[in-house]
Structure 1
Amino acid sequence: MKKGIKNGNTYLIIGFIVMAILFYSSSQSYEEQSQIGLLMALFKNEPLKDWLSKISFVYAGSEVSIQAKGYFAFIEFFVRKFAHFGTYFVLGGSFCLGLFPKLNSLALAAFFGWMAATGYAGMDEFHQMMTNGRTPLFQDVMLDSIGALTAVILCWLIIGLRQKRVL
């Protein structure tokens, strides 16, 4: 195994790169980040619209449905929320894997990896509060935290099974 991976530094670098990308992303307005034009080009025939029209729920006090948002904004909502989950999945997993060799404790690496990612999620939403055209949401912090926790649990399971020689 390469030294950077074995000592965790590569994973920590990945985590810090993700943090920099998130910081840059949070510095942009909603309009600058909008993917509506791309979605209109990719899904011009509005596939599955009839089926998706049956989906309606409330997120952060606003209705999320095709009827309320329109087809492309509805699809973009899920793209954005998947991006939240996915980036914090990578962040939480990177921190967990990066801290494990340094702390020599899987439980501590998992806890601090998750807490660091969750703390950064809160700071990221605070940063959005200071950015014009952005709306900070507690629900996004929770989604980010769940993404990080999912990665940490997955790391815990894989490392735990490898230590017991099951994998």
Structure 2
Amino acid sequence: MMSRKWERIYFGLAIMIMILIFISSSMTYHQQTVTPELGRLNLNWLHRWLDPVKINYAGNIYSVETEGLVGMIEFLLRKLAHFGSNFLLGLFAYWGFTSKVPNKWFRAVLIWLSCTGYAAFDEFHQLLTGDRTPMIQDVMLDATGALCGVIIATIVMIILEAKANKKKLLAAK
């Protein structure tokens, strides 16, 4: 079982991720863009891998042809940030609520739904921020990231519980 200390740490990390997501959605696109920095790097070696990639996202086709190499890289980084931050949010929140919601399956559903709600709130927040476009596809991407985080957290907990039970059985013999 997880100690209360680690639960508090994971809960704190989940809150930190939520704050970072909120700050990020408070920024305009121009405040967040990394295209100038990417443009200064020699990324031509990525052409070989990214040239054949075409992604249909929110009714638009994203590719090196349509966005340019730097634009395509930034698009991929932005979507990876959506998925990754919500993956961590789901993971940390699941572990942070171990003793508060002891049933692992109910906790998994509760955390995933909460993360999905927060993703929807985040997109609404972007609606209030200038130069930002809220998209239902981003909510779906965020929800998928959170679901993956919750699934991994659940699997890790099941493995740790099985190891602890095996250790108890061996000690009892």
If the length of structure 2 is used for normalisation, what is the TM-score?
0.88
Q: Is the 8 A contact 1:58 1:64 kept in 2?
A: yes
Tell me the residue number matched to 1:67. 65
- Kindly report which structure 2 residues correspond to 1:11-160, keeping only aligned pairs within 5 A, or say none: 11-42=10-41, 44-160=42-158
- Match of 1:102, SS state, is coil
Tell me, what secondary structure is at the counterpart of 2:10?
Answer: helix
Looking at CA atoms only, which structure, 1 or 2, has the larger radius of gyration?
A: 2
Task: Identify if the C-alpha distance between structure 1 residues 103 and 32 changes in structure 2 by more than 3 Å, giving closer, same or farther.
Answer: same
Q: 1:45 to 1:119 in 2, by over 3 A?
A: closer
Identity value in percent: 36
TM-fit CA distance, 1:49: 1.2
CA separation of 1:49 and 1:155: change in aligned 2, threshold 3 A: same
Relative to 1, partners in 2 of residues 1:101 and 1:78: Cα closer, same or farther, differing over 3 Å? same
Secondary structure, in 3 states, of the residue corresponding to 1:54? coil
Q: How far does the alpha carbon of each residue in 1:35-63 deviate from its partner, in whole angstroms, 9 at most, with x for none?
A: 10121123x25223144222213110111
Query: What SS does structure 1 have at the residue aligned with 2:149?
Result: helix
SS of match in other structure, 1:136: coil
Counterpart CA distance in 1 for 2:43 and 2:91 is 37
Question: Aligned partner of 1:26: which letter?
Answer: S
Paired residues in the alignment total: 164
Superposed displacement of residue 2, structure 1: 5.6
The CA distance in 2 between the partners of 1:93 and 1:45, in whole Å, is 32
Shift of 1:94: 1.1
Report runs of 4+ in structure 1 exceeding 4 Å deviation: none
Greater Cα shift, 126-135 or 154-163: 154-163
Deviation larger for 70-79 or 110-119: 110-119
State TM-score, norm by structure 1.
0.92
* CA distance in 1: counterparts of 2:32 and 2:64, whole angstroms: 20
Root-mean-square deviation (CA, aligned residues, Å) is: 1.7
Asked if the contact 1:88–1:145 (Cα under 8 Å) also holds between the matched residues in 2, the reply is: yes
Q: Counterpart of 1:23 in structure 2: which amino acid?
A: F
Q: Is the 8 A contact 1:85 1:146 kept in 2?
A: yes
Which residue identity lines up with residue 11 of structure 1 in the other structure? Y
CA distance in 2, matches of 1:51, 1:162: 39
